[in-house]
Every structure is written in structure tokens, then in C-alpha cells.
Amino acid sequence: MAPDISTSTMEERREYIKKTFPCIADCDMCGLCTVFHGKDAETAYDDYITGKRSYMEVSADYR
């Protein structure tokens, strides 16, 4: 479960994103960059990491 923006630090949220969406440096095998419209996960989830929007709100952008 993603850390809540009201009770977690920016670094905790960043680590959660890194662990949840690890880059394996093989875009043909992984596909995450395609899901995130050419962005890496940290860039795609920047609003969540910085506490502007919840994890679910940002995730809805990529469904």
C-alpha cells in the first residue's frame, strides 16, 4: 500500500515509487515507460512524491 501523503515524508514516497516501479533498463521487456507515456516512474509520480496529489489520483492518469 502506498504511503499516505499526509503521514509520510517525500523520501518515503520516492522510495515506494522506486521499489514499486524499478527500471530494468530494457524497455522492450518491461513496458513501464510506455505506460507512463515515455516518462520514468519518478517523473510520472512527481505530484505524489511532492505531496500535491494522492497515489491513486496520479495512477488514474495512466489507466
What's the mean pLDDT in 35-63? 94
Q: Is residue 39 part of a domain?
A: yes
- Residue 29 domain-assigned (yes or no): yes
Q: Where are the beta strands (DSSP E) in the chain?
A: none
> Amino acid identity of 43?
T
Give the pTM. Answer: 0.88
Task: Tell me if 51 is assigned to some domain.
Answer: yes
Look at residue 47 and tell me if it is in a domain.
Answer: yes
Identify the DSSP state of 53: S
Q: Determine the structural domain holding residue 33 and report its residue range.
A: 23-60
The total number of structural domains in the chain stands at: 1
Q: What is the pLDDT of residue 28?
A: 74
Of the pLDDT bands very low, low, confident and very high (cuts 50, 70, 90), residue 51 is very high
∠21-48-29 over CA atoms, to 5°? 20
Do residues 42 and 14 make contact, with C-beta atoms less than 8 angstroms apart?
Answer: yes
Q: What is the pLDDT of residues 32-41, one digit of tens each?
A: 878 888 889 9
Grid cell, residue 21, equals 516501479
> What's the confidence (pLDDT) of residue 59?
96
Residue 7 in domain: no
Would you say residue 10 lies in a domain? no
